[in-house]
Structure 1
């Protein structure tokens, strides 16, 4: 017979573990939610794995316990709970209540004592117990029937201990674990123990003598004068420490098994509403779907509207006559990540209160030509306003059928992204839940019809936010038209020379083999360079290099460790190079072979709603991230070629755009002057910082000044700068101080923007792109420092993103309006890449230079470097 099971959750311990394991998260209300998310995700996982019959959660109370009364310094000096964590506990208790999980807490006793009492009570009832905690104190409760689940590595891993596992791993029984604590003490609880006895000695003594009392009775037999003297002097303290460390198992509480029974009687509707409020999208999927009842924060989902399924050309013609003035649309697509296979399944339309489901796939089978002929006038009509979700995909798939989408008035996905760029996903289901407070349910056709039903309300809500945040120019002139530009670029793709790719593969393999042999020679041995364990033995045992960092499995050989060792042995640079080569080979030589489409082109996806800074990202494959530190990395660009012998690749790269943006935002006279007079900014900075005439600036000075210039943009500190340019921390501080002395308004900007970030929890770019920075309010110094750097950098990097996006829109518009064959094909941060036909070179160069340099009126000139070649490599 299978035993019943009880899960006991250690509330404070698990919340604390989750808080420090996960990055800062906040919901729309500004409530911190990372601990709540980690706790809830862990709970679901435990429920799934253990399938308990009962669940309870225990908490500490603020009132002093009997331990505090007996020992006033108990837990003294413990760090105060951060307010970002403290505010999450009342919400957790709400969540537990909604899930019908009983809470146990009582004045005078710790959660550990409640856990002990509950677990022993259940054990007597022959119920299998699982104590889930991050606190190893609970190990003393382990038995054959009581399992202690210790969460590790944040919340993602766990270790389960019973009495046998305790003996195997520690050499002591669970009850003897208390004796170990009595001898060694516990700094986290401020339990004193015996001075001079650490963990190793404590375990050894208890393994030998069995208990604190037996140790004290056998002091004469113990070796080591210091330990003997301390045991004699602190014998009472050892016994008292054991008492403090002992978990009470008979707290006077009433336990009713029926009341703690795990069941699904809890209010799913209310719980789903709570998850919406907390923005726990991924956890929502773990809850049953239900209709939402009327509440102050939500409303009943409206009945599904009547709609017509359009599955014949005749029906399509009739429907077309009723589509007027405004069209809300949603496309059900497939294989968007593979250009040649990207297609439409159905088109959902809401126009003038009439709803249609156009079965595109079926109509295509009936008569593709007639299908396109009917759709073309609708979707190419500039006067018919189109509102959609993810219009880039619509532009892309329509273009395959020769339909040029026009009259696009709104994109709910892009608007939602601008309102809060930190969310990561902007599905319509989520927007309906968050903006309309409706728990939308259903799947397939029924769900998509609901999308177009609610799309007008979503549009209105987002439109109001765009206006409230003064984002009209950013949305309507930059991001909305950019959806068409990106779709155009994706369909154009970047041609690849397959023969060159094969040649490059051979070259890489040859270089990898050569570097491998050089490493073996320097090591005096052959080994698996890709194995951290084997590499660690070579570096730290055979070559006797200083150990920088250790992990549980041995020596760390990560990039940071290698960087620190770079001047200690020539093998280090070879290993770093080897790693780069093998990564480049697998990702960009072998990897690219798998994504070349039927037209010998790579159609990378350019993602507009991913980054928090406003920059575009490239995926499947990522063409923005080809490392060019080594020549072999740059060689990869040789395989990217122009479309044919009549065209070339043109690269247009903004010169130091982020520093120019900094000069503009900070309104710093000296920095502006440098750009207005077309000075070499790094040489000028070196002259200012090192206080030497420009003609006396050395290459080393310029290099260090360059690091300072770009470091300032990213809020660099003296420690990081010292590490980057290999000088002392004091020298680095002097450089930064000298920089701010020469550019005082830059310093003022940095200080002001941090205050702005702290006051409003977000910062903005020159076009009012907004980035929320909850990290800046953290009580954790490391997290807060990150928030400060983000506040300093975001307006600069984000404004640069605004500028190049607007330039892309303008360049594409000019190329299209002039009916030129030349096209934009890729954007890599500050660089635009075009395939240009030779007979259009002069005209395209003129367009690109003008539109990029005159796109925005800054206090300093924008400058663009243009290069041309048959390959991307030659054009860079």
Structure 2
């Protein structure tokens, strides 16, 4: 029977990672606890995986080490430990000991050195060792007996795993670190040598640092970028390289007065745990202790529960050695037929496209990759066109063979940003026929959206970031194979030797990410529902809207560009007149001299370099005090932005094939769930200015059609009424009252029919201001009253609508307790700063906590409405289609004789997108252009 492995835990590594990666939790008295909870959760998980193993949890001791004596700058660039982390060290140590784990801190060396010594001595005795760490330096210890496990990501690394990740063997890791350095520890290395160059040098000389410096003459012949200049660089920094080698070397002979027998798990101390969990306010674990104590009281004869059963730690599978990926590039019909059969029999297909660019409406398809099981994938190149490219399978033959599989709605598929791939394949023009593409169906999952729904703020949602975070895998980046800047190759120019593994990896990682992420989502049913009921059904809808595009009147935009240019010239002259001299309006330096030195305006804010700021918000504040030049400058900037972003740019963005503008919608950007758009960004066209409305006038209906705009009325206030359960607000909406007039009547204590337009305007500012967390001072400025009067209005508002105040207080408390808030449909927004000890950060997080459920629910509702409207239009066959989505509004292109029918139907579908306790009101407008319809 094989021995249970010795488990060595890098406690210091996990303390830092838990502190920075997890939401900050604090007790009711302000004691930070998030890092403690994160590390303890990890330890409990490990204990369940290795119930029979000896353990050691190793932390860095206080004070310096021998490396500081060797190199005074060692770790000098590290910021001092945050106070919120420092105060968690002692309760963490006590908790580790109370759980029965042996805990080690050895003076004069780092935790790595203690772990290295224990690992090597155990391995020498033929005992397997598991090192639980997130530190890449530990890879130097890996051998046939020693494996690294990253408990936070669930990944593991043996000898082959080290080679796969770093490109060198474990015995070369110290040399690798010595060459590239380590900025986190301030190990200098050789300037300009990064991971790829370091591994290339070591593989090239088939050795380490000593062999490299003995063979500098062969370095110029190695297949490394810039190889000819490397010998001089290495020679210049020889001394620093060997010093870096010493700094990076983990000491494996630390004198220790403990042996393996001293590392057996001890008994837990329930009394001490109860004391610690009470201090740390770990309520669920306290409840577990209470339940266990009662269970023992009821049955004294019962066996005590294993240590891990006392806690609600997440279950995790035992780590397995990484499997080497099997990727292939398909160039012959036999292998293509094999993969066709795999795809036909697969329960789930991961797929990805490679293209000539990132514009989904104009890029050309270069190839496709597929995976149906982890660590196995294939790339089918179609149109690589460099000199010497091998013969590829016929493009149209391949696409026609794949078409039935990709279009089968019952053949489930997963992509990473699948909308892009759907558009590429829809536009792929099989046989040169622009109308014949592939209409991908059966998109069941999307890893970008899985990550986004799981936690919209925890990470970026691109594949490289997700692979690193959830798989602990560093993917091959596009720049690695294509280069950078003006000389960057398009994918069809990249050699298949590089393109094949890169593309296949995309499909493989997509499948592996899905397997990890969907498991996490499935553990939280409300989040799984947001993914499957809202985000995934929206993907094909957005793809269709993007492909449809919108007509714009380029001539009208050209006229407006000229007019904006003339207005900018006039504003520039006015600015010169006020300043008494000419200057560059776009130069912060010159502008600062005029504003602060010549005109003597007050300095409200300074830049990081100590110069008086001329930023937008500063000019806005100066303009509020009736300073004339800041007002002129702001107006000039506004005109300039409209001209450069819209009136000049939109005509250039007209697709020559379709004659339309095709924006791109993004589901995984805004933290609250709202859609955003780019190229062009339609969300930011101003609607309250004449110039902004004129830009909307350029979005026109084709002949025989009208534009129809359907907009939710006051949707966030209606959601506030539903969430707060305030009777006053709900009655106003149920009785179809103008809510701003109703609020004005309450706040100003007048009858409804006596409310003036100014009072209604003030009430509107109050209604919207409060749900965005506006204070009395800002409200007073907005409605033209002093702060005391504004505060009185707010107090009256809350007195009339007490449910709103209760909702705000309840939401703040819930956010502080659980670290997130939820929308009506269960979407979560995590708030890392909600328990910050910095008042400004905490206040901002509290404002977000109050607003996010409303803004997020509104986003969910419009998304559900888009799916419902798309389904109706598709099944009805009506000559109408959605061409734009902006905020709470849908814009449709409708045949003239169908306008009345579509108007009635769209009201129904949008108003029924959610069942709130107040009605959803949809306003519909029609016109020849977007401005008329809105």
Give the shorter-chain TM-score range: 0.5 to 0.7
Name the CA shift for 1:534/1:309 in 2 (closer, same or farther; >3 Å). closer
- Report if aligned partners of 1:316, 1:374 keep a CA contact under 8 Å in 2: no
Deviation readout 1:66-104 (Å, 9 max, x if unpaired): xxxxxxxxxxxxxx9641576699999879996889xxx
Q: Alignment partner of 1:651: what SS?
A: strand
Give the CA deviation at 1:791: 0.8
- Report if aligned partners of 2:822, 2:828 keep a CA contact under 8 Å in 1: yes
Structure 2 residue aligned with 1:482: 538
Aligned CA-pair RMSD? 3.8
Structure 1 residue aligned with 2:857: 799
What is the distance in 2 between the residues matched to 1:96 and 1:600? 66
In the alignment, which of 828, 836, 841 is matched to residue 770 of structure 1?
828
Give the CA deviation at 1:801: 0.5
Name the CA shift for 1:336/1:830 in 2 (closer, same or farther; >3 Å). farther
What is the distance in 2 between the residues matched to 1:640 and 1:488? 18
Give the CA deviation at 1:376: 1.5
In the alignment, which of 219, 244, 268 is matched to residue 262 of structure 1?
244
Deviation readout 1:351-392 (Å, 9 max, x if unpaired): 479854222336998644433321221111122222222221
Structure 2 residue aligned with 1:332: 353
Structure-to-structure mapping, 1:346-425, within 5 angstroms: 346-351=367-372, 355-361=377-383, 367-401=394-428, 402-425=437-460
Structure 2 residue aligned with 1:564: 621
Q: Alignment partner of 1:564: what SS?
A: helix
Q: Alignment partner of 2:882: what SS?
A: strand
Structure-to-structure mapping, 1:450-529, within 5 angstroms: 450-453=505-508, 455-469=510-524, 470-529=526-585
TM-score by length of 1: 0.66
Matched, 1:535 2:585: no
Matched, 1:636 2:656: no
Bigger mean CA deviation after superposition, 657-666 or 358-367: 358-367
Bigger mean CA deviation after superposition, 504-513 or 754-763: 504-513
What is the distance in 2 between the residues matched to 1:260 and 1:721? 64
Give the CA deviation at 1:581: 0.6
What is the distance in 2 between the residues matched to 1:360 and 1:564? 58
What is the distance in 2 between the residues matched to 1:809 and 1:604? 18
Give the CA deviation at 1:349: 2.0
In the alignment, which of 445, 449, 452 is matched to residue 500 of structure 2?
445
Structure-to-structure mapping, 1:747-758, within 5 angstroms: 747-758=805-816
What is the distance in 1 between the residues matched to 2:660 and 2:535? 26
Name the CA shift for 1:93/1:756 in 2 (closer, same or farther; >3 Å). farther
In the alignment of these two chains, the number of paired residues is 638
What is the distance in 1 between the residues matched to 2:862 and 2:332? 45
Q: Alignment partner of 2:920: what SS?
A: coil
Q: Alignment partner of 2:582: what SS?
A: coil
- Report if aligned partners of 2:360, 2:420 keep a CA contact under 8 Å in 1: no
- Report if aligned partners of 1:298, 1:438 keep a CA contact under 8 Å in 2: no
What is the distance in 2 between the residues matched to 1:787 and 1:733? 22
Deviation readout 1:458-503 (Å, 9 max, x if unpaired): 3343333323222243211210011111111111122222211211
Give the CA deviation at 1:519: 3.3
Q: Alignment partner of 2:402: what SS?
A: helix
Structure 2 residue aligned with 1:666: 724
What is the distance in 1 between the residues matched to 2:692 and 2:896? 28
Give the CA deviation at 1:455: 4.7
Bigger mean CA deviation after superposition, 727-736 or 757-766: 727-736
What is the distance in 2 between the residues matched to 1:525 and 1:400? 56
What is the distance in 2 between the residues matched to 1:475 and 1:519? 52
Q: Alignment partner of 1:788: what SS?
A: helix
Q: Alignment partner of 1:56: what SS?
A: coil
Name the CA shift for 1:660/1:88 in 2 (closer, same or farther; >3 Å). farther
- Could you list the runs of 5+ residues in structure 1 that have no partner in the other structure? 1-18, 34-51, 63-79, 102-131, 134-256, 269-294
What is the distance in 2 between the residues matched to 1:96 and 1:668? 61
- Report if aligned partners of 1:55, 1:261 keep a CA contact under 8 Å in 2: no
Name the CA shift for 1:418/1:554 in 2 (closer, same or farther; >3 Å). closer
Name the CA shift for 1:820/1:94 in 2 (closer, same or farther; >3 Å). farther
Give the CA deviation at 1:265: 7.1
Give the CA deviation at 1:549: 4.1
Deviation readout 1:276-318 (Å, 9 max, x if unpaired): xxxxxxxxxxxxxxxxxxx99965431123x553335675455
What is the distance in 2 between the residues matched to 1:267 and 1:333? 42
Q: Alignment partner of 1:346: what SS?
A: strand
What is the distance in 1 between the residues matched to 2:770 and 2:642? 30
- Report if aligned partners of 1:764, 1:770 keep a CA contact under 8 Å in 2: yes
In the alignment, which of 746, 753, 757 is matched to residue 688 of structure 1?
746
Name the CA shift for 1:749/1:379 in 2 (closer, same or farther; >3 Å). same
Bigger mean CA deviation after superposition, 488-497 or 466-475: 466-475
Deviation readout 1:720-774 (Å, 9 max, x if unpaired): 3233334322222212111111111111110011111111111111111111101
What is the distance in 2 between the residues matched to 1:700 and 1:301? 69
In the alignment, which of 16, 19, 26 is matched to residue 21 of structure 2?
26
Q: Alignment partner of 1:841: what SS?
A: helix
Structure 2 residue aligned with 1:624: 683
Name the CA shift for 1:864/1:335 in 2 (closer, same or farther; >3 Å). farther
Name the CA shift for 1:603/1:314 in 2 (closer, same or farther; >3 Å). farther
Structure 1 residue aligned with 2:74: 56
Structure 1 residue aligned with 2:484: none
Q: Alignment partner of 2:426: what SS?
A: helix
Structure 1 residue aligned with 2:84: 83
TM-score by length of 2: 0.62
Give the CA deviation at 1:267: 7.6
Matched, 1:343 2:343: no
What is the distance in 1 between the residues matched to 2:611 and 2:247? 49
- Report if aligned partners of 1:653, 1:864 keep a CA contact under 8 Å in 2: yes
Structure 2 residue aligned with 1:127: none
Name the CA shift for 1:701/1:856 in 2 (closer, same or farther; >3 Å). same
What is the distance in 2 between the residues matched to 1:562 and 1:722? 19
Bigger mean CA deviation after superposition, 732-741 or 350-359: 350-359
What is the distance in 1 between the residues matched to 2:577 and 2:629? 9
Structure 1 residue aligned with 2:51: none
Bigger mean CA deviation after superposition, 575-584 or 775-784: 575-584
- Report if aligned partners of 1:496, 1:639 keep a CA contact under 8 Å in 2: yes
What is the distance in 1 between the residues matched to 2:661 and 2:465? 32
What is the distance in 1 between the residues matched to 2:396 and 2:246? 54
Structure 1 residue aligned with 2:31: none
- Report if aligned partners of 1:364, 1:371 keep a CA contact under 8 Å in 2: no
Give the CA deviation at 1:691: 1.3
Q: Alignment partner of 1:338: what SS?
A: coil
What is the distance in 1 between the residues matched to 2:674 and 2:844? 19
Give the CA deviation at 1:849: 1.2
In the alignment, which of 664, 667, 670 is matched to residue 608 of structure 1?
667
Structure-to-structure mapping, 1:421-440, within 5 angstroms: 421-437=456-472
In the alignment, which of 323, 326, 331 is matched to residue 311 of structure 1?
331
Q: Alignment partner of 1:349: what SS?
A: strand
Bigger mean CA deviation after superposition, 296-305 or 318-327: 296-305
Q: Alignment partner of 1:565: what SS?
A: helix
Matched, 1:651 2:709: yes
Structure 2 residue aligned with 1:231: none
Give the CA deviation at 1:29: 9.3
What is the distance in 1 between the residues matched to 2:411 and 2:768? 47
Give the CA deviation at 1:335: 5.0
